[in-house]
Amino acid sequence: MLASLHTMRPFSLPALPGSLVMRWRSSLRRARFPALALLAALPACRALAQEAPPAPPEPGLVRADSVVVTATRSERSAEDVPVSVTVVPRETIENAPSRTLDDALRNVVGLNLPLGSSNTIQPTTNHVSMRGLGGDRALVLLDGVPLNDAVNGYVQWNKAPLGTVERVEVVRGSAASLFGNYAMGGTVSIFSRPLDGSRVEADASYGTFDTKRLNASVTESLGGGWNAGVFLDMEDTDGYTRAIPEERGTIDVPSWSRSVNLQVKAEAKGSSGSRFFVKGNLLDHDLSQGTRLAKTHRRMYDVSAGGRFGLGGAEVSATAFYQDATYDVDNTQLVPGSGRDAEYLANLAENPGQDAGGSLQWSRGVNGILTFLAFGLDAHRASSNDSVVSFDRFGNQTGTRTNEGHQTFAGLFGEASFLPASRLEVLASARLDSWRNSGGREETSTTGPTTYEDRSTTRLNPRLSIRYELQDGFAFRGSVYRGFRAPTLKELYRGAVTKTTIVLSNPALGPETLVGGDVGADFTAKGFRGELNLFLNEIDGLIARETLALKPALVVQPRNLGAGRSRGVEVMGTFALGRAVSADAGYAFTDSVITDNPANPGLVGNQIPDVSRHAGSLGLTWAPGQGPSVAFRGRALSRRYADDSNLLAMDPHVVLDLFGSYPIAKALEAFASVENLLDREYVSDANVGRRLGPPRAVFVGLRLRQPLHPASSARSQVP
């Protein structure tokens, strides 16, 4: 899973076997307008192939400030990559009026995030998807290692504090042909800052809700090409009361949060360009669920290592990781007849999980029309072993339940590109994935043990992309692809009980399958870069919760209910309005609906949960260089729903944020930020009662950037 970090030349395409061609034809027929656009382009491709290909660029010609890795699993220039990609650099992240990385990414077009911040909402609701697919249908990586929880699928944003992030790459459209599971909607890849030079850095802030935050790091050069760093991120906040005023009772309290993230990392650079790293991370997070008794506790640690090196004119990259996580939940129920004025502890749930895996990739540039080849494999195994103890309103134990299960994934992938003409690139990739659900078992104090049948599945997921540069600064591109998402261990084997809902597991679940594509255009001119995309995705075997009972409690179960469709338009652009002023703007229209549901035909036509039909964003930055800077951010979202029935609505809203900094000394600056500047009140969650989004919050702080040694001053600057 570690992306190859070499300087790339354009890609090329090998001959495809007949079976793969047949699968592509099937995908093309189902993808409708993107497929037609690509088919229409094929005759032109044949004609252009008669032109002599240009000489491949030298490695040094790829500009470091425009390099992307995730789009093709190899280093490419963002200016000519044949897919839709947005790069969020370190400067944007540091100057964003945000305290968490997910908040800093809210203005990225096509990225669907929860309306609440990851430091206040329940961790299992940190869903990430793209282009209207909803749920956990996008893959998030941190230095090539998945941030999607191996058991639940949600994203653990706390493991990537803002101060450790170098850049983020958001790639739209299914990347399952390279990355497999979860990447059916796209990928979000986070890259940590390099450990160059010896320096100490710290951000300390205080603000609304008695919020105290510290992000500090120390890096040191050890000699012999080795560097080491220690990173600490802490936050303590009393939070705000999330229940809406008209529904509050005496049990409702502010959603406080206490978190600590500690990371230790070492890197080595070889004279031949090789790089190696080893990293350890520890996260501890306590969070209130908004009432006096309900709370969660997460504790996880992980280790990872990897590197890249040259081998006979090619490059080999590899990574390995292990994660151990525990998610404990104190769930409560309302005392009957008391409204929200009394609750009791209904159950204590302990949900440990482990995930271990690794990847290996070989890649090489080739001269001629065929310009690049890459092959690789990866595998990982996830395990879950849960226990729940239930109580009645008087504190008497009423029952116990244990669940366990395992998932093993393995994938083989290949990628190639050819450049049949000076302005045409054809990029192809395919991946064969196999996974197995095993060891499924449930035991309760009333029914005894139940063992579930092992199940295994294999899927082939191809992708074909074409980019043609009509003239300098103007290019067309298009892609067709197939992707999948396997059901999580949570959906297969883990149930849950909340105040108002009982969620049953379903070991018979099968995977979701996506077929889709997009067409787009890239525009580049002096001081401007823009992008227009049209996309269409169709999902078969859509996993959604079916309602089994309404009284005395809502009982739901995940099932492969039918099909969904997501189609839309994305427009985005960045502008340089002067030497010190820049702007970015974006808009996405997403028509994301359920198209088939035999179990409940009344759901057909309803919006897929967690997706707004309209989403717009605007950012303005004034940064004259060494002096003060100001960043403004605004976003507008239309109504979205928390359920398939479209009964639990979340409000349309506009949120404006502001950030400013002022240098006090050479290595010290003061900063201030205001989130939700106009104090707009809106419902941001409706799964367990209606919950408010963050109100206006003001924070002030100091930022230190200091080299440890005078000789390291130059190396400590932002690369």
Provide the pLDDT for residue 91.
Answer: 87
Residue 41: pLDDT over 50 = no
Instruction: State the average pLDDT over residues 50-77.
Output: 52
The structure tokens listed for 8 are: 């790339």
Task: Flag whether pLDDT at 553 surpasses 60.
Answer: yes
Cβ–Cβ under 8 Å, residues 284 and 291: no
pLDDT in tens, 369-421: 999 999 999 999 999 999 999 999 999 999 999 999 999 999 999 999 999 99
Q: What pLDDT score does 13 carry?
A: 30
- Ranking 149-163, 201-215, 383-397 by mean pLDDT, the lowest is 149-163
Task: State the pLDDT confidence band at 500, using cuts at 50, 70 and 90.
Answer: low
pLDDT of residue 116: 84
Is a pLDDT exceeding 60 seen at residue 711? no
Q: What is the pLDDT of residue 544?
A: 80
- DSSP 8-state symbol, 271: T
The pLDDT of residue 406: 95
Contacts of 525 (CB under 8 A, 6+ apart): 473
The pLDDT, as a whole number, for residue 461 is 96
181 φ, ψ (degrees, to nearest 5): -55, 145
pLDDT digits (tens, 9 = 90+) for 48-58: 333 333 333 33
**Burial (0-12, 13-18, 19+ Cβ within 10 Å), 494:** buried
Can you give the pLDDT at residue 55? Answer: 36
More confident of the two residues 711 and 254: 254
pLDDT band at residue 436 under the 50/70/90 scheme: very high
For residue 202, what pLDDT band results from cuts at 50, 70 and 90?
very high
What pLDDT band is residue 8 in, cutting at 50, 70 and 90? very low
Instruction: Give the residue from 461, 473, 472, 464 showing the smallest Cα distance to 417.
Output: 464
| The predicted structure's pLDDT at residue 98 | 87
Complete edge-to-edge strand list for the sheet that includes strand 145-146? 85-89, 165-172, 186-192, 139-142, 145-146
Out of 5-9, 265-269, 488-492, which region has the weakest mean confidence (pLDDT)? 5-9
pLDDT score recorded for residue 102: 92
User: What does the pLDDT look like over 625-643, one tens digit per residue?
Assistant: 778 999 999 999 999 998 8
In terms of DSSP H, where are the helices of 173-229?
A: 176-179
Q: Alpha-carbon distance 318 to 275, whole Å?
A: 11
The answer to whether 125 touches 105, Cβ cutoff 8 Å, is no
Looking at residue 344, the DSSP 8-state letter turns out to be E
**pLDDT given for residue 304 in this prediction:** 96
Nearest-angstrom CA–CA distance, 571 and 589: 9
**d(C-alpha 83, C-alpha 81), whole Å:** 6
Three-state DSSP at 35 gives helix
Residue 63, pLDDT > 70, answer no
Mean pLDDT, all residues of the chain: 85
Strand ranges in 448-580 using DSSP code E only, listed in sequence order: 448-451, 455-471, 474-485, 496-497, 501-503, 512-525, 528-549, 554-576
Q: What is the rounded average pLDDT of the residues 416-429?
A: 93
One-letter amino acid of 30: R
Tokens (6 digits) for 581 = 């002023």
pLDDT confidence of residue 241: 93
pLDDT digits (tens, 9 = 90+) for 611-629: 999 999 999 999 887 789 9
Out of 50-54, 75-79, 325-329, 339-343, which region has the weakest mean confidence (pLDDT)?
A: 50-54
Q: Which range among 70-84, 267-281, 455-469, 644-658 shows the weakest confidence by mean pLDDT?
A: 70-84
What is the identity of the amino acid at 272? S
Per CATH, the homologous superfamily of domain 18-252+266-292+358-449+457-712 is TonB-dependent receptor, beta-barrel domain (2.40.170.20)
- Find residue 403's DSSP bridge partners: 386, 442
Q: Which residues have C-beta within 8 Å of that of residue 201, sequence separation ≥ 6?
A: 163, 216, 217, 703, 704, 705, 706
Mean pLDDT over 250-279 rounds to: 92
Q: pLDDT tier at 20 (50, 70, 90 boundaries)? A: very low
Residue written as tokens 């939070």? Answer: 239
Alpha-helix runs per DSSP H in 457-508: 489-493
Q: Which of 13-27, 56-70, 683-697 has the lowest mean pLDDT?
A: 13-27
DSSP code for 158:
G
Instruction: Flag the least confident range among 250-254, 356-360, 554-558.
Output: 554-558
Give the residue with greater pLDDT, 648 vs 410: 410
Cβ–Cβ under 8 Å, residues 325 and 149: yes
More confident residue, 543 or 61: 543
Per-residue confidence band for 31, with pLDDT thresholds at 50, 70 and 90? very low
CA R_g for the chain: 25
The residue among 212, 213, 119 whose CA lies nearest residue 163 is 213
Q: What pLDDT sits at residue 12?
A: 31
User: Tokens in use for 678?
Assistant: 């106009």
Alpha-helix residue ranges (DSSP H) falling in 557-666? none
Share of the chain above pLDDT 90, in %: 62
Confidence of residue 30 (pLDDT cuts 50, 70, 90): very low
Percentage helix, strand, coil for the chain under 3-state DSSP, each rounded to 5: 10, 55, 35
Q: Cα separation of 181 and 406, whole Å?
A: 15
Q: What SS3 state is found at 245?
A: helix
In terms of pTM, does the model score above 0.85? yes
pLDDT number for residue 420: 93
- Collapsing DSSP to helix, strand or coil, 491 comes out as helix
- Would the pLDDT of 483 be above 50? yes
User: Per residue in 94-117, pLDDT tens?
Assistant: 888 888 899 999 999 999 999 888
The stretch 290-306 carries a mean pLDDT of 93
Residue 662 half-sphere exposure, CB side, CA atoms within 13 Å?
4
Predicted pLDDT at 433: 96
271, 381, 425 from 58: Cα distances, Å: 19, 40, 17
Band (pLDDT 50/70/90 cuts) for residue 498 is: low
- pLDDT score of 123: 84
Q: Which residue has the higher pLDDT, 73 or 390?
A: 390
The residue among 289, 314, 287, 319 whose CA lies nearest residue 302 is 319
What's the confidence (pLDDT) of residue 325? Answer: 92
Of 137, 155, 168, the closest CA to residue 298 belongs to: 155
Residue located via tokens 């717009």:
616
